[in-house]
Structure 1
Amino acid sequence: MPKTFSAQTSSAVLEPVAEYFKMLSEVSRLQILSCLRSGPMNGKDIIEATGIGQANLSKHLKALTQTGILSRRPEGVTVYYEISDPIIFELCELVCDRITNQLQQRAEEFEQFKDFIKVSK
């Protein structure tokens, strides 16, 4: 896969990229990833930590596993899930930093507007 995208990048190349980002576009999946940051957990532990229902959790765990973000490890009758692609947290941190910067900019703009309103009175 190319390091950078261009106008000529094919749909076939971009499809797995879109699928990867799609996995991060759901709050429940982000909750699951957040839980697993501290280490492997089984489904019951993830349900207790997130409040996600069993059927919904199973659907999300399957999707995250198929994408390669998670791996599953059976131990007897229990299955443990863990992060198999730790770069996911770097990606999330980049996004969170960007959102933080945007919110700080907005806050500064509102402060300037407040100052303008005070002067206008």
Structure 2
Amino acid sequence: MPNKLASKINPDILTPVAEYFKVLSEVSRLQILSCLKEKEMNVTELGEATGLGQANLSKHLKVLTQAGILSRQPQGVSAYYSVNDPMIFELCDVVCQRISERMQQQAEHFEQLKLFSQ
């Protein structure tokens, strides 16, 4: 039986959610967020911490800033980036926990297959 509630949700309402997850679907952006978890950093510091080139780093910082995930604060000749909403790390923790659980289940499954083949 189809879920009536799901069929009534307007796709336009879900578009911002999909866009938000799209921003987070890039490994380099997750690296940047990981670096900014403890403190704000400028582009030079982020480049050293991530190993990303300046052009690539700037592109990702722009995407994260435009999405409202990061804020940019000019300080002298540099600009420092920080995470706007630390809830982003809770979201990442939930996802990582789920991936860990799934991998553990797969490992148990493979262990059972190993026992079966003996």
**1:29-85 deviation line (CA, Å, top 9, x unaligned):** 000000000110000000000011111111100010011100000001100000001
The answer for the alignment partner of 1:109 in structure 2 is 109
Q: Distance in 2 between matches of 1:102 and 1:117?
A: 23
The two structures have a TM-score, normalised by structure 2, of 0.93
SS in 2 for 1:39: coil
The two structures have a TM-score, normalised by structure 1, of 0.91
Q: State how many pairs are aligned.
A: 114
- Identity %, equivalent residues: 61
The answer for the alignment partner of 1:66 in structure 2 is 66
Q: Distance in 1 between matches of 2:85 and 2:21?
A: 13
Q: How far 1:7 moved relative to its partner?
A: 2.0
Q: How far 1:11 moved relative to its partner?
A: 2.2
Q: Distance in 2 between matches of 1:8 and 1:54?
A: 45
Q: How far 1:110 moved relative to its partner?
A: 0.6
Structure 2 spans left out of the alignment, 5+ residues: none
Question: Letter of the aligned partner of 2:24 in structure 1?
Answer: L
Q: Distance in 1 between matches of 2:51 and 2:8?
A: 44
Question: Letter of the aligned partner of 1:66 in structure 2?
Answer: Q
Question: Letter of the aligned partner of 2:70 in structure 1?
Answer: L
Q: Superposition RMSD on alpha carbons, in Å?
A: 1.0
The answer for the alignment partner of 1:46 in structure 2 is 46
SS in 2 for 1:91: helix
Structure 1 spans left out of the alignment, 5+ residues: none
SS in 2 for 1:38: coil
Q: Distance in 2 between matches of 1:6 and 1:91?
A: 23
Q: Distance in 2 between matches of 1:87 and 1:47?
A: 24
Q: Distance in 2 between matches of 1:60 and 1:8?
A: 35
